[in-house]
Structure 1
């Protein structure tokens, strides 16, 4: 008899997931306990227990977990390109011409997904990692379940192209809050790193690093002074790695502490 879904605890299936705000591979996320808030630079998403989503590769995204009754448990399944190419060759899924700008996709609710999650418990190891010998089999089973209920997602999973050249100014003004490297930004805008820096200088007359810092600090000043946010509430959402770095940069830019604006 299989363990109930809410007794599985957190586990991962597939290659390690990157902690970056750049999504390098598609992954499936099923939330067992707690809550998740996602942000893609345009929309905000909420995931409650019993819900699942697909987070798409080659996009910027941020997701924050919130414990419920001091508990947070999830199942994450990575659909990396190597696996997806093998799956495509084997199953020959049909493409439908579907496209979407959403980074977080919520599959149709299906009892098959819950049934699948129950089946992983015999292979689930105490460290939260599925047995390697069964990883591809379980991923293949799950992807078949997802595509059966959501056939148009085949266009998402089996698009192996790289981002094309896009409007750099619009992209940066939309995504300046994400903390990623210049190499990632260049890739997402369809440029080499040298072309990215050259085009950036032409458009903004500045370097990416300096422009991003000033843009974030101006936004922080507005949020603290006009929206009455506390520095501790906003520094992560604006792309700063820690509060001390934010506080130092803010005072260096404006000549006074960020906390003085809210007093």
Structure 2
């Protein structure tokens, strides 16, 4: 995989993947504002599957598990401008405003396809990636402030999301796991997202499900894979990556072990 990231500042980068395919399971520490220059991506979250391509602009909220699949398109690489809206930057922005975080909107991906104000803000950064020398930090601050201001203008209810600086608190384990089991993350990350240490997470998990996290996760992912193959008629390759498996070989082996036949055999039938 050939991946290049060119940084103007730690918060602003130009990201480029030139290979056929790249997959990652992530939980972003900060909100991410992304503008697509070329290529396409599929983002799987608990609340749905999102598809983005050239011209799309979208905001990925922090602390939300996601599977991200990046592809080139039309002979062009997967290329994006990424602006990280850090907690410190947002705290500074909202410190000047009488805004309080509330229950607000659900923390889900927001799409702003080809919005002229956001596109102009992010496109104006592109020429700077070709210029040698440091990017003025005061200019970076202005561009990030501009982006936040535009987002608030487009969707005023985003204040409840952007101005919420709470860390993940202890949540109902059964509800969370039933919603997010398809993301391939270590138990320690699941623990953090449910407000637990690794030891507490494993203890509470055993009490709730009467098995280990790995066994339960594998079983649930294979059940979801079987459903997607039979009811949704998806391809085994797509199912593999959307249900938390790292590669097709591992997926096929685990699937056949549980069901007695391979994903390709099921798809063919």
Q: TM-score range by the shorter chain?
A: 0.7 to 0.9
Matches of 2:233 and 2:267, distance apart in 1: 6
TM-score with structure 2 setting the length: 0.79
Residue matched to 1:231: 236
Greater strand content: 2
**Could you tell me how far 1:170 is from its partner in structure 2?**
1.9
Which segment drifts farther, 189-198 or 144-153? 144-153
Deviations 1:64-84 (A, max 9, x none): 334331223322101122322
Three-state SS of the structure 1 residue aligned to 2:221 is helix
Match of 1:14 among 2, 10, 33: 10
Three-state SS of the structure 1 residue aligned to 2:242 is coil
- Contact 1:178 / 1:238 at 8 angstroms: preserved in 2? yes
Match of 2:157 among 152, 157, 177: 152
Deviations 1:112-155 (A, max 9, x none): 2232234323422379x983644333222322232233333222
Residue matched to 2:83: 77
**Could you tell me how far 1:236 is from its partner in structure 2?**
0.7
Q: Which 4+ residue blocks in structure 1 deviate beyond 6 angstroms?
A: none
- Contact 1:97 / 1:152 at 8 angstroms: preserved in 2? no
Residue matched to 1:29: 34
**Could you tell me how far 1:108 is from its partner in structure 2?**
8.5
Residue matched to 1:4: none
Three-state SS of the structure 2 residue aligned to 1:30 is strand
**Could you tell me how far 1:225 is from its partner in structure 2?**
5.0
Residue matched to 2:99: 94
Change (3 A) 1:93 1:52: farther
- Contact 1:123 / 1:130 at 8 angstroms: preserved in 2? no
**Could you tell me how far 1:203 is from its partner in structure 2?**
1.4
Deviations 1:198-243 (A, max 9, x none): 1111111001011101211233334445555443231111101111
Match of 1:51 among 56, 66, 78: 56
Residue matched to 1:7: none
Change (3 A) 1:193 1:230: same
- Contact 2:105 / 2:158 at 8 angstroms: preserved in 1? no
- Contact 2:91 / 2:163 at 8 angstroms: preserved in 1? yes
TM-score with structure 1 setting the length: 0.80
Matches of 1:215 and 1:80, distance apart in 2: 34
Residue matched to 2:168: 163
Three-state SS of the structure 2 residue aligned to 1:57 is coil
**Could you tell me how far 1:110 is from its partner in structure 2?**
4.3
- Contact 2:56 / 2:113 at 8 angstroms: preserved in 1? no
Is 1:140 the counterpart of 2:145 in the alignment?
A: yes
5+ unaligned residues in a row in structure 1: which ranges? 1-9
**Could you tell me how far 1:97 is from its partner in structure 2?**
3.9
Residue matched to 2:135: 131
Match of 1:200 among 196, 205, 214: 205
**Could you tell me how far 1:247 is from its partner in structure 2?**
2.1
5+ unaligned residues in a row in structure 2: which ranges? 16-23
Matches of 1:256 and 1:108, distance apart in 2: 42
**Could you tell me how far 1:57 is from its partner in structure 2?**
0.3
